[in-house]
Amino acid sequence: MVLTPDFDTRPVISFQHVHKTYPTGTEALRDVNLEVPQGDFLFLVGPSGAGKSTLVRLLIREEKPTRGKIFVDGIELGRMKRRKLPHYRRKVGLVFQDFKLLPNLTVYENVAFAMRVLGEPDHKVKARVAEALDTVSLSGKEQTYPANLSGGEQQRVAIARALVHAPRFIIADEPTGNLDPATAWEIMQLFLRINARGATVVMATHNREIVDLLRRRVIAIDAGQIARDDRSGRYHDDLAKPQVRAQ
Amino acid sequence: MILRNLKFALNSAWQSFWRNLAVSLAAVLSITLILILAGINLLVGHAFAQVLDGFRTKVSEISINVSDDTPLQTVYDFQAQLAADPRVVTVTFVTKDEALREFKSDPQNAILATQIEGNPLDAKLDVRVKNLNDVAAIDAMGRQWSGVDPTDPTNYQGDFVNRMLDLSEWLAVAGVALLIVLMIVSVVIVMNTIRTAVYHRRKEIEVMKLVGATEWFVRGPFVLEGIMTGLIAAAIALALLAVAYEPAVVQFKSDVGFIPLSYDPAFISSLARDLLIAGALLGAVGSYIGVRRYVRI
């Protein structure tokens, strides 16, 4: 059952017949068509190696499609000039399973880092970092180092860093993969709040409980193709045989 | 914004330098050695040029010996003819008496002078030629002149001059070749230092890229680190060379006295400029190539 949802808003992410074959010959994605409207919250699910990570890497333009076109916010990623890439990345908030925090920087410095690399003035950095840390409920932990934080707190720092540019899209790759269920749930609440403020969220995940509970749009990828696109879906298609949840 | 970026770049370059102290120091010392070699090359080149300049003024002066029976008027005419020649700087007529006095006044001739009876010396025309290459032509003119002493026409030693000119050209080529090799080696050393620094900071670089830092924002600190490495090396090399220069010249003079080498303190400032510029440039080029290879967005 492949279904393209009929949304009234202009798609902000659009995949048109996207193929991705790696130089090794591995065919990671085959003829992927996908439209994501502004403000959508979407789960990418599927077994490991199905192509979720490739899709994420195409979205953040770490890879280019072999064939087909990807548009984000009207920009065709495959034809974007290399020097435009940093400007594109600033519009996207990225959150990863392994947090990607810098261990030698404090919480404040880690979040501020995303603004410092743009050469923003101190007063602006201060205000925005405070706001972002407030959003993720980490005010007061500014001077702590990541090593002294729990996994959930570290992920919240990463989310604050993703939010500090006030991005229109959040792309999260297994953000709860390293977290216990209770913490994972807290992090999900955070993503929902961010989504409620208008940001589009694309999340690749293996977390069946969360997907099934939230009943948001679910795109299931299998063997490089979109197997299912449900407006209000579950982790598994009812017809599919149950799979062991990969961690 | 540029200032803030520069501050950030300087900060991270400095941090990275200290964080990889062992590698940084190895690079500084290697480049110091290379710059010392380059500095010695420049110093030897300079010393040789000094010596050669001395020879040049000597060999660009030739004496045309006048035979004893030449009338004075013929000598004056030829002197005037030479003086009018655009290739000639000055012509001085030295009489037999003056030549003898000159000969006797030289302490090297002291013993010989006591044995001289009468005046065996010729009167001569001392000609200073503007350009070394024209000395041969003036010599030819002198030899063809009717008043020249046919047994000992001039003191021109063509072969010696040409050999010196050849040698100086060869030495210049060898010096440049050596400098090029040294530069390539130091660029490679800086490149490898930067590769290590990039490796140590790969996580930070990854995060920078993901949050949208521009390529040059990521690369800038590494290039600065390379320049810093080159400048520190240049400063050390310069200090060592400056300290060793005078004693080396003194030692050389006492060992090989016949080569008129002299200590030239003014050259140190030009050496300082050359070494510092070379250090900064080598660092910049090496690290630029390094980051282009190892920092991709």
Q: What is the β-pairing status of strands A200-204 and B123-129?
A: unpaired
Residue B240 has pLDDT above 90, yes or no: yes
Q: Kindly report, residue by residue over B134-178, the tens digit of the pLDDT.
A: 888 888 888 888 888 888 888 887 767 677 777 878 888 888 898
> What is the dihedral sign for C-alpha B79, B81, B84, B89?
negative
CB atoms within 10 A of CB A2: 10
Q: Which architecture characterizes domain B61-130 according to CATH? A: 2-Layer Sandwich (3.30)
CB contact under 8 A, B210 and A102: no
**Residue A172 confidence (pLDDT):** 94
Confidence of residue A1 (pLDDT cuts 50, 70, 90): very low
> Which pLDDT score, from 0 to 100, does residue B55 have?
73
Rounded Cα–Cα distance for residues B4 and A239 (Å): 58
Q: Name the residue facing A85 among B1, B8, B297 (closest C-beta).
A: B297
B174-190: pLDDT as tens digits: 888 988 998 898 888 88
> CA angle, A66 as apex, A16 and A98 as ends, to 5°?
90
Question: Residue A2: its pLDDT value, please?
Answer: 41
Find the mean pLDDT for residues B111-132: 82
Collect all residues with Cβ–Cβ distance below 8 Å to B33 and sequence separation of at least 6: B237
Chain A partners of B5 at a C-beta cutoff of 8 Å? 119
How far is C-alpha A161 from the chain's CA centre?
13
In angstroms, what separates the C-alpha of A140 from chain B's closest C-alpha? Answer: 24
Q: What's the mean pLDDT when you consider all of chain B?
A: 84
Cβ contact B214–A114 (<8 Å)? no
Cβ contact (<8 Å) for A86 and B8? no
Within 10 angstroms of residue B11's Cβ, the number of other Cβ atoms is 12
Residue of A89, A92, A104, A115 for testing the chain B interface, max B β-carbons within 10 Å: A89
Q: Indicate the residue of B2, B206, B211 with minimum beta-carbon distance to A117.
A: B211
Q: Do B212 and A88 touch (CB under 8 A)?
A: yes
Position A243 pLDDT exceeds 60? no
Q: What is the pLDDT of residue A9?
A: 54
Q: Which of A82, A86, A121 sits opposite B212 (nearest CB)?
A: A86
Between CA A140 and CA A127 the distance in angstroms is 14
CB A196 within 8 A of CB A20: no
Cα–Cα distance measured from residue B23 to residue A214, given in angstroms and rounded to the nearest whole number:
52
Substitution target from B3, B7, B208, B211 for chain A, most A beta carbons within 10 A = B211
Overall pTM > 0.80 = no
Burial degree of A6 (CB within 10 A; 0-12, 13-18, 19+): exposed
pLDDT at A95 over 90: yes
Cβ of A100 within 8 Å of Cβ of B1? The answer is no
Q: Where are the domains of chain B?
A: 2-56+162-294, 61-130
Which residues make Cβ contacts (< 8 Å) with residue A179, sequence separation at least 6?
A151, A152, A155, A187
Residue written as tokens 């409207």? A37
- B210 and A121 within 8 Å at the Cβ level: the answer is no
The three-class DSSP label of residue A154 is helix
Q: What pLDDT is stored for residue A3 in this prediction?
A: 43
CB-CB under 8 Å, A113 with B207: yes
**Average of per-residue pLDDT across A147-171:** 92
Which residue segments constitute the domains of chain A, with CATH numbers given? 39-61+82-230 (3.40.50.300)
Could you tell me which of B225, B203, B217, B216 has the C-alpha nearest to residue A105? Answer: B203
* Contact across the interface for A117 and B2, Cβ inside 8 Å: no
Q: Are strands A169-173 and A92-96 parallel, antiparallel or unpaired?
A: parallel
List strands edge to edge, sheet with B61-66.
B61-66, B123-129, B88-94
Q: How far apart are CA B202 and CA B12, in angstroms?
A: 13
For the cut 90, the answer to whether the pLDDT of residue B6 exceeds it is: no
Complex ipTM value:
0.78
Nearest CA in chain B to A101: B207
- Closest approach of chain A CAs to the CA of B261, in angstroms? 56
Write out the two tokens for A132.
Answer: 């972002």
Task: State what percent of residues in chain B have pLDDT above 70.
Answer: 97
- Higher pLDDT among residues A111 and B294, named by residue: A111
Q: Say if the Cβ atoms of A119 and B212 lie within 8 Å.
A: no
Do the Cβ atoms of B211 and A161 come within 8 Å? yes
Of A194 and B195, the one with more pLDDT: A194
Interface size A-B, in CB pairs within 8 Å, comes to 58
DSSP B265-281: HHHHHHHHHHHHHHHHH
pLDDT of residue A55: 93
CB contacts of A102 in chain B (<8 Å) are 203-204, 207
Average pLDDT for A119-148: 92
CB within 8 Å: A88 and B208: no
Res. A241: pLDDT tops 80: no
What gap in Å lies between CA A41 and CA A205, rounded to an integer?
A: 13
Residue whose C-alpha is closest to residue A46's, from A223, A184, A170: A223
E-strand stretches of A58-199? 67-72, 75-76, 92-96, 169-173
Chain B closest CA to A4's CA: distance in Å? Answer: 30
pLDDT digits (tens, 9 = 90+) for B78-117: 888 888 888 888 888 888 888 888 888 887 777 777 777 7
Residues B246-272 have pLDDT tens digits of 888 888 888 876 666 778 888 889 889
Q: Which of A63, A56, A83, A78 is nearest to A22 (CA)?
A: A63
B297/A202 Cα distance (integer angstroms): 23
B48 falls in which pLDDT band (50, 70, 90)? confident
